[in-house]
Amino acid sequence: MKMKLSEIARVVGADCPLAEGDCPTITGVAFDSRKLKPGDLFVPLAGERDGHEFLTSAEAHGAAATFIAASKTPITTNIPQLVVADPLTALQKLASYYLLMKVNPKVVAITGSNGKTTTKDMTAAILSTQYHVVKTPANFNNEIGVPFTILSMDTNTEVLVVEMGMDRPGQLTALSGLAEPDVAVITMIGEAHIEFFKTRDKIADAKMEIVSGLKEDGLFIYNGDEPLLRERAEQVDQQSKTFGLDPDNNLYARNIQAFEDHTEFDLSKWPDLHFTIPVMGEYNVSNALAAILVGRRFHVKPESIQSALSHFDITANRTQWLKGDAGESILSDVYNANPTAMKAVLRDFSEFPCGGRRIAVLGDMLELGEASGDLHASVAPALDPDKVSEVYLYGDEIVTLRDALAKRYPADALHYFKKGDQQALINALQEDVSYQDMVLLKASHGLHLENVLAALLDGDRG
């Protein structure tokens, strides 16, 4: 961005403390004073600590100006101050103005219980073959991250691909209203945040909020394999298209072949083209289908879509293959977990060629609320003793999965460790895992299976 401080003051309804000729040009925004660059506007936000406490640091890092909450005044600082009712609201108002009045790109908004980051990356790669595209960095997908993404655009941006997350009702309504998307995408409905929403129906209602800001001539793209979305899509006035694995969808995949480091598939729409994506899993094929539909909306040629998907850049892809100290192959996915994602990964893991044993190490899936026990137990059918030889379970919530598996796995192939007994889990795995074995590690980040991963990698086996 590049805006005079006086213009920003007018946008957010603040008095500019400097004369027009003395106003600096703001070239960016920052809410972390440590990452602030000279010329940035500092936005002090409320978090574990009040952002106003870091004004000295912001000044030291070259802040050109700062928002100040009216409730915090008077504050002494050498940085020019724009006093606003709420810095976050002012940030969002500034982002909306910059988006619509300064850049005015086409906007693609993407949400979903799983897959939104990967779909964002695929979509941006496809559109970048013909347009100047900006996408959400990392997972900056909330009420802070979305305006930050908008304000990071160059004025020559033609398409903005913005990821939108949510953990409460009304959040996507606000984000969609801010971005006013031309295309809105829902990848899927899972169980993420069900502790707060109670049912998948309510999660679907919250995800559907993404269409609240969709332009009248916009396009709604959603996973047609999900009945909850098909039902709700009937109430959407804008044009809609579906993707999925069912032939009833506008776009569906055929001949899916999953490998350890890539997945291949065909489309009925273009039978002469064979697609390869550099990520594992049938679930990522669905993400690719969503991105393909966006690409076609923007008239990207099929061959360009095929090429872009074959080598797109992946943001913070935490599912990765590593080699353990004993020579075992480790599929690490230790930063996020919910029942839908866990079952999907287990299905793929169970089919990968393996010279030794397949060993699943699974931990609690958090934020599942009252349904936690049933949802953990629901993973049991995805574990076949003929394909996954041994299962290690870690945590307190996952005990119901242990009980469900006890009917199918012999006692010496099913291992359970309470939360807090992580060292015992590590010791057992280090003693058990050997060359040619294949190990899956998956749990919510709160279980800290990254410690187990580190122990399997570093070679310290006592």
Tell which of 280, 310, 340 closes a domain: 310
Is 116 annotated as ligand-binding?
Answer: yes
What per-residue confidence (pLDDT) applies to 462? Answer: 47
Is 115 annotated as ligand-binding?
Answer: yes
Task: Answer yes or no: is pLDDT of 286 > 70.
Answer: yes
Peptide bond into 38 cis (omega under 30): no
| 0.85 surpassed by pTM | yes
Same domain, 352 and 418: yes
Same domain, 195 and 246: yes
Same domain, 167 and 295: yes
Is 372 annotated as ligand-binding?
Answer: no
Q: Is residue 246 part of a domain?
A: yes
The Cα–Cα gap between 105 and 379 comes to 43
Is 112 annotated as ligand-binding?
Answer: yes
Task: Answer yes or no: is pLDDT of 356 > 70.
Answer: yes
Looking only at the bridges linking them, the beta strands covering 28-30 and 40-42 are parallel
Task: Answer yes or no: is pLDDT of 113 > 90.
Answer: no
B/e letters for 13-49, b = 16+ CB within 10 Å, e = fewer, are ebebeeeeeebeebebbbbebeebeebbbbbbbeeee
Tell which of 23, 54, 85 closes a domain: 85
Q: Is residue 353 part of a domain?
A: yes
Name the nearest CA neighbour of 115 among 186, 172, 176, 13.
186
Q: How many domains does the chain have?
A: 3
Q: Is residue 95 part of a domain?
A: no
Alpha carbon dihedral 238, 243, 244, 249, in 10-degree steps, equals 80
Is 156 annotated as ligand-binding?
Answer: no
Task: Answer yes or no: is pLDDT of 453 > 90.
Answer: yes
The domain in which residue 48 lies consists of: 3-85
Question: Is-contact 393 417, C-beta < 8 A?
Answer: yes
Phi, psi dihedral angles at 86 (to 5 degrees): -150, 120
Same domain, 110 and 78: no
Q: Is residue 32 part of a domain?
A: yes
Average pLDDT over residues 125-138: 96
Exposure on the CB side of residue 165, measured as CA atoms within 13 A:
16
Alpha carbon dihedral 91, 96, 99, 102, in 10-degree steps, equals -90
> How would residue 318 be classed by pLDDT, with cut points 50, 70 and 90?
low
What per-residue confidence (pLDDT) applies to 2? Answer: 93
